[in-house]
Amino acid sequence: MLPTVLLPNETDHIPVLAEEVRHLLGVQPGETVVDATFGAGGHAAVLASDLLGSGRFIAVDRDPTVREFFEDFRRHFGGLDGRFLRGEASIVLRQLADNGVGADAILLDLGVSSMQLDRPERGFSYAVDAPLDMRMDPTAGLSARELVNESSERELADIFRRYGEERYARPIARAIGRRRREQPFERTAELVETIRAAIPAPARFGEGHPARRVFQALRIAVNDELGSLEAALPAALDMLRPGGRLAVISFHSLEDRIVKRFLREGERGCVCPPDFPICVCGQEPNLRALSRRVIRPTPEEVAANPRAASARLRAAVKQ
């Protein structure tokens, strides 16, 4: 088993599929590594340990509170050339690629991080009452409060259905509309109460928390997570040097479908319609999958870290 490196303040933030990521990315001393979703630095510490003090580590995250974790990371790996770039992953990766910065290994760990879930004031969790926010960058964009209070019922139902695959999207949206006409939503507990009351009684005691899917959908919409992912993948590919490796951890089917489709298209190369007798697009394969099947956490990892249960890992090497 590969050893896991933990930073001093990171013991509560366990990196998901860390051993598998480390194996697939195969970081070597002297390489340039990009953690495009740094978070609390769990995966970064594992990958940086394989640089053995020789190489370059670029950390990217849109959340301004991440900088304190990066400073701990940099102190822990004092001899490493490390740099933190605050911003949305797709934008930063594109800027780096366009400016000729190459990478040998890039990691995208999607979704919300443990440190965001564990800070009630961020409003990501349906389990704790907090201001209704959910922004990964709390200084930019619309909050969940604004989205819930200002979107039409039809728009909300579409968000809940598309991003949360919520069966009761329409009755929940109608209930939100009735509630906000009396008083706007301000806190997560108000939204949880409204969701719970809007769905049939048997569904309240089914699989998972009744507000789970709606909160997931709002978080994805607030942070444009799927749009960001679709832009980040080609930017990462452009940044990778030949032989460079890309690993992506997703946490729900919508993300995984995007990653799977991107990697398969990269392996296939040609984008001509199937009924064309010959290829006229001229596109060559530029990726090779490092695992033929999606990688999931072991039962032992899920038992130790329940948040890993829905994780999916895919990886490829640039041709």
| Domains assigned to the chain | 18-115+225-318 (3.40.50.150), 120-223 (1.10.150.170)
- pLDDT (0 to 100) of residue 65: 85
pLDDT per residue of the chain (319 residues) written in tens, 0 to 9: 444 444 444 445 689 999 999 999 999 999 999 999 998 899 999 999 999 989 999 999 998 888 999 999 999 998 789 999 999 999 999 999 999 999 999 999 997 665 555 566 676 788 889 999 999 888 888 999 999 999 999 999 999 999 999 999 999 999 999 999 999 999 999 999 999 999 988 777 766 789 999 999 999 999 999 999 999 999 999 999 999 999 999 998 999 999 999 999 999 877 777 777 777 777 789 999 999 899 999 999 999 998 899 999 999 999 9
* DSSP annotation string for 133-193: ---SSTTSS--HHHHHHHS-HHHHHHHHHHHH--TTHHHHHHHHHHHHHHS---BHHHHHH
Spatial contact of 239 and 100, defined as CB atoms under 8 Å apart:
no
Two tokens at 160?
């809940």
Classify the C-alpha dihedral 40-86-96-238 as positive or negative. positive
Of 36, 58, 188, give the one whose Cα is nearest residue 119: 188
Q: pTM (2 decimals)? A: 0.87
- pLDDT (0 to 100) of residue 115: 57
For residue 208, give the H/E element and its range: none
Is 43 in a helix, a strand, or coil?
Answer: helix
